[in-house]
Structures are given as structure tokens and as C-alpha cells.
A and B are shown apart, each in its own frame.
Chain A
Amino acid sequence: MSAVLSAPASACPACVAAPAAEALAARGQEAGLVLSLPTAHCAACIVDVERTLAEVPGVHSARVNLTLRRVSVAADPSVRPAELIERLAGIGYPAHELDPGLLSTTETDRISRELLMRLGVAGFAMMNIMLLSVAVWSGAEDATRDLFHWISAMIALPTLAFAGQPFFTSAWSSIRAGRLGMDVPISLGLILASSISLYETMMHGHHAYFDAAVSLCFFLLAGRYLDYRSRAAARSAAEELAALEVPRAIRVTPGGEETVPVAALAAGDLILVRPGGRMPADGVIVEGMSEIDRSLLTGETVPVAGAPGTAVSAGEVNLTGPLTVRVTAAGRDSSLHRMADLVAAAESARTRYTSLADRVARLYSPVVHLLALASFAGWMWASGGDLRLAVNIAAAVLIITCPCALALAVPAVVTSASGRLFRMGLLVKDGTALERLAEVDTVVFDKTGTLTAGMPEPVGLDDMPRADLGLVLALASASAHPLAAALARALRDRGLRPAAVEAIREVPGHGIEARAGGRTLRLGRAEWVGAAPADRLATHFAVEGRPALTFLFADRLRPGAAELVAALRRDGRRVILMSGDGAAAVAALAGALGIAEWKAGMLPGDKAREVQALTGAGHRVLMVGDGLNDTAALRAAHVSISPGSALDAARVASDIVLLGTDLGPVADALRIAGQARTRIKENFALSLGYNLLAVPIAILGLATPLIAALAMSSSSIIVSLNALRLR
């Protein structure tokens, strides 16, 4: 009867869950729209958002996922995401459209659900077998013991066949590749333990290890699941960052304007780039006047003028006026892609890092197999050829040494450390990033956008005539140009009010013009205003017939930058500043932060070469950068961090993404990484100590199923608790 009951339990989840998952995935695709909701956090938020979206005509359903801070909307194709975002903004929830194509949630869901199913099956089977085992341990004999062993076998064998699959497949593939991974001794232990126990049961033996085999499987699956979840959480958040920039371009055709995916652009197309927009491809300006921000590509902070005939590269930002650009190179040929090729080259040059766990496993697996083989041979000799006894003891050795705690030791610490860092605003994208971070002795910073906020602020405003500042504010308020906006903000902070002006208009590529008291006022570029050009980032203001005023700008330090550099120097780490910007600006910043080593005017290739040279000299380099010009260096470094404001190529290239604007968490990340490495090593030491105690008992043939079960559970629980100590 029990055979009839337990067989469907193990066969059913595998065959029933798969089609169900497919059906759910199909429903997910129909939803079509996915919006990110960074501020949603409570029951009221869920209700507000779902109700508001459901009221929009054409929306069939909306479901908030608070864990991922996303809402999926099923709607008619006619519903535009912008409309939904506007509605949500109206009730106080900022939302961003995500590119559903980049969010591979269904695949992640499927794998994690599958692991959870195996974990659940192993857990329930373990509990039931334990119930029966307790009876055997407390003295059930003869026919009763045999009956209990038979029932355990009927639960354990199908359970292991189903729940142990991840280990069996991975062990098989590593054997075929000629390696001995951690999964080989695990699989061997599971298979040997269950077949020995089945044989013992048939022969009315005293010891059966069904409980040990199933609980081993359960603990190992728990480690596997933790590992998978922490990586999936980081991956989904990273995907979200990438999916924020839905790559589209506005193509101008004889029939009018149309929005197309960037991938559809070809050389010769005419595209329209609005102010604030990023160039989707390389090209030449054919119409319009504007200023172009190249800082993400080159690190220069001063925008350059753009006029018909100026060449532009993909990734540059158009600041002031609308531009029509004729595409010269798109897709694979564009400078963005050439930069990506540079990254790929650095990638292949990067020495592959072997994680601590892999290094231990490489030592561990052969030792375990040799021990089991040696105890088998030893007992064959000692007992005068008692095969049954020798195999029994070899199986006990394999079960006891099975790296249960070892397989939990790393995932438990990494999950706990990544969770802590995530709450501090750091996203760990790579599993081994923490271990690598703990080894860092040299930190290389980019300047613009990394140590500085990338947002210039006016300096020396207090020396200006106050009467003119009101006029300046009136003009600056009328423009979306970053310099004008920064000037307006700074003036308003000083309690100034805009003076009355008339006929205000923006002259794209030049500045803002207005009239007051019969005179023309101009705020903008030096030549246009009639001022002497400054060698730094500046804007100029003049009232007709009077000498011009020059407002100089300085890039503000990112919050936490000074503290971070001080903390790094205090810990004895070497700090280097590398920038594509001019020597004067770089030297000023290096001086302000107390960085002794700096290099200016660096090309993207230079940065990567410099980082590789440092690595070659035996240093472990942490690269912190945000620009396209940093991507190759980010890849070449031992470990890398980029701010969330970075271009997605840089975020993809780095191991850790900083979600907030404050640089302070980087120092915490280094500290926690060091702690995590200590914990991992402690956990290895604990597992090793446990093995040193338990293995002799097993080799001497004194291990009973009770001892195996106790030793295994207690060591697993101890390493998990040790991981939680991370603070």
C-alpha cells in the first residue's frame, strides 16, 4: 500500500509541475508590460497601484510583486506604458518601464521552483523516515525492524531518485569532463548508502542508512537552493538596471517620424535626438545646434558644441537643442560596440578566479575517495574477506565525510553577506565577488561620475553683483541645460527671486536670450554672449552694453568620496586616480582627496593596460568606474564596482553595482567581504574538525546510523548559525 502511495508522490511533481510552469510562463508573456516600482513598500501601496491601473481602459489585470518591486500588467496592445507611468506618478508612485525581453524571470522561476520542489519532497520524506528510524534506534527488533526498514526503503528510494537528480547530473557531467567535483562523492555516497541499506534490509541486517541518505540530500539541497536564490536575486536586480534603458530611436522618414528599436538602425538613416537623449548610433549632425556631453565616453567634463557637420558617437548625450543626425555606423560597427570588443578582449585576459569552495573541493574529493577505498581494503584484510562488512564500513565513511557542511558553508555565508550588502545599497552580481573583494590591496578610481557626482555646481556666486543675479536666475530658470539648471538651483538656494524679463527664448547651442528695461540679456556660450572664453567649465552672462560676467563651475564630490578615500588609506590600501579628463582638473581633485597617485588624459585602452600592469606586478586591483571608457578596465581588474548611474555597459562589466549615490558603502563592502572570507574559512575549519572526529569512528567500524544522523545534522546547523553571525 505504501508503495502505491509513495510512487505517485515522487513521479507526480516532475510530470505535473512542468506543464503547469509552462502554462504560467505563457500567461506571464501575455502580460506584456512590466513596470518597476522602486518606492512600493506596504499593503496600501499594493492596493493603490493595482486599483489605479485596473481603472485604466484596456487594462485587464495588474499584479504587484512586492518582493521584486514590480507590477505586471495584462493589457490591450493599445495601452501605452507612458500612460500607465503617468497615472502612477499622479498618485505618488514613480515607475519605470522595464524591457520584458531582458527579464528572464520565467527561467529563473522555473529552476528555483524545481529546486524548492525537490527540497520539499526530501524534507517530507526525511521526516517520515526519521519517525521510523527513531523506533529502530530505541530498540525495535527482528520482524518489526525489518518492516520499518522496508517502509523506509520504499520512501527513500523514489525520493532519492527524484530529489538527488541535480547532484547526479552534475556529477555525471563532471566525470565525463574528467574532473572530480564536489558532486561526485555526494552522488557516490547517496547511491552507495541506499544500495547497501537495501541489501542489508533484504538480509535482515541491523543497520540501514536510509535516514542519513535522505537527510544528506535535504541539507545539500538547502545549500543549493540558498546559493541559487542569492544569485537569482542579484541577477534579477541587475537585469532590472539593464532593462531600464529600453533602447529605442526616433527615425525620420519621408512619411514622418517613427520609433524603432536601436537594432533596426542602418547607416544612412536620419534620426532625431531630443535634448537629454543619448545618441543611439554613430553619425554626423545634419541639422540643429546643441551641446554634447561626452563625459561617459571620455571622462571630459566640458560639453562640446555640436553643429551641422560635427561627428557624434553612440553613448554621447545631447544637452540643449534637438538634433537630426545621419547615421554613419550602427550596431556592430558603432563605437559603442568597438568599446564592447575592448571589454571582450580584457575579459579573456582576466585570470579565471577559482573560488575557495572549488579549491577545497579539489583537495577534498580525492581524499574522501581514497579514505573510503582504504577502509574497504583494510577491513577486507582485517576481517579475512568479509565483503559485506567492508562495503558497509566504506559506505559509512562516505556518508560521514559527505561534504554536507562544506556544501552549506559557502552558500550560507554568501547569502547572508549579499543580503546585508543589498540592504546597504550594494548589489553583488557575481558569486565569487566577495571573496575577490577581500583580497584587494589597490583601489583604482575613475574621476567623473565616480568620485565626483558628475553634476557641476557654480562657484564664487557670492562675489557677483546681487542685482544682476535676479536677472540671471530668470534666464537660467527657462532652460533645461544642466549648467543653467545648476545655476538656477544654486541661486534659488541663496534666497534670490527671478527678476521680471520679457521675450525669453532659448537659442539652441548658444544659450538663453531675453529683454528687460529695453536691453537684451544673454546667458550662454562665451562667443555668443561676448565674453572671454574660460579654460574651465563656465557659462557667461551679459546685459547689452555692459561687460560680461563669468560663472565658473566645479564638479561636486560624490557624497562619501572623501571618507572612502581616507578609510582606504587608513587601511593601508594603495589608491590611484585615473581619468580621461585634463591634468588640471584631475590634479585639483587628487589634491582635495589626498590621493598621491593620479594619471590624467587617459584613453580607454590606457586604463585597462594600466590595470593589467598593476595586476602583473602582483597587486589585487579593485576598479571603481562608471564610464564607457572604464569598461575594459573594470573587466581587467580583479574585482570591480560601478555606481548605478553608470552606463549599462559599465554596470554589466562590473561585479558589484552601487545602487545609491553615496560612495560610503564601498568601504563597508570591503569590510564585510573580509568578514565573509573569515566566516567561510571558519566554516571550513568546523567541517574539517567534525570530519577529524567522525571519520576515525567510521573507519573503526563504530559508526551507527544514529551517530551518522546526529553528526550530520549538528554540523550543518552549526555552519548555518556561524554564517548568520556576520555583522
Chain B
Amino acid sequence: MDSLVILIPVSLILGLTGLGFFVWTLRNRQYDDPKGDAERILSTEWDERPKR
């Protein structure tokens, strides 16, 4: 039962981290053009100097 003291906060923190990342992807407009983003990784345009 002592393990719960660690495991419960861990599960909550992991869940919140996941949610945090989801919010970040959403605010970063990553769901606006799913088809385009899938194709963009095939382009070598920014491989050497990643676009900021």
C-alpha cells in the first residue's frame, strides 16, 4: 500500500504531462493540415538547417 503514495502522483503527473503536450500541439496548429504535415517530413528542404 505504501507504493500508492508514489504511484498515484506518478500516474497523475504522467496524465497531466500528456494533456500538456496535447494542448501544446493544439495551440501549435498541428491539426490544421494533417495531410500536408504527413508529406512535409519527406521533403529534404530543411534537413541541413532546420527552419525556426
Contact = CB atoms under 8 A, between A and B. Distances in A.
Contacts of A12: 23
Nearest to B39: A43
B35 A67 contact: yes
A360 interface: no
A2 B12 contact: yes
Interface in B36-52: 36, 39-43, 45
Contacts of A117: 23, 26
Interface in B1-30: 1, 4, 8-9, 11-13, 15-16, 18-20, 22-23, 26-27, 29
A6 B15 CA distance: 10
Contacts of B41: 43
Contact of B15 (A44, A67, A127): A127
Contacts of B22: 120, 124
Nearest to B20: A9
Nearest to B23: A13
Contact of A116 (B1, B19, B31, B42): B31
A43 B26 contact: no
B19 A121 contact: yes
B interface residue count range (under 10 / 10 to 19 / 20 to 34 / 35 or more): 20 to 34
A79 interface: no
Contacts of B23: 12-13, 16-17, 117, 120
A246 B8 CA distance: 59
A2 B5 CA distance: 12
Most buried by A among B11, B12, B27, B34: B12
Contacts of A46: 36, 39-40, 43
A128 interface: yes
Interface string A5-17: 1100100110011
Interface in A573-602: none
Contacts of B40: 43, 46
A590 B20 CA distance: 64
Interface in A1-45: 1-2, 5-6, 9, 12-13, 16-17, 20, 24, 42-44
A88 interface: no
B27 to A, nearest CB: 5
A66 B12 contact: no
A683 to B, nearest CB: 27
Most buried by B among A12, A17, A124: A124
A351 to B, nearest CB: 38
B22 to A, nearest CB: 4
A43 B42 contact: yes
Nearest to B14: A128
Contacts of B34: 67
A118 to B, nearest CB: 11
Given A120-B22, A120-B23, A124-B19, A43 B43 contact: yes
B12 A67 contact: no
Contacts of B4: 144, 147
B8 to A, nearest CB: 7
A12 B11 CA distance: 20
A7 to B, nearest CB: 11
B12 to A, nearest CB: 5
29 contacts: A2-B8, A5-B12, A6-B12, A9-B16, A9-B20, A16-B27, A17-B26, A20-B27, A24-B29, A42-B42, A43-B42, A47-B45, A51-B45, A65-B33, A67-B32, A67-B34, A109-B32, A117-B23, A120-B19, A120-B22, A120-B26, A124-B18, A127-B15, A128-B11, A128-B12, A144-B1, A147-B4, A151-B8, A151-B12
Interface of A: 1-2, 5-6, 9, 12-13, 16-17, 20, 24, 42-44, 46-47, 51, 64-68, 109, 113, 116-117, 120-121, 124-125, 127-128, 131, 144, 147, 151, 155
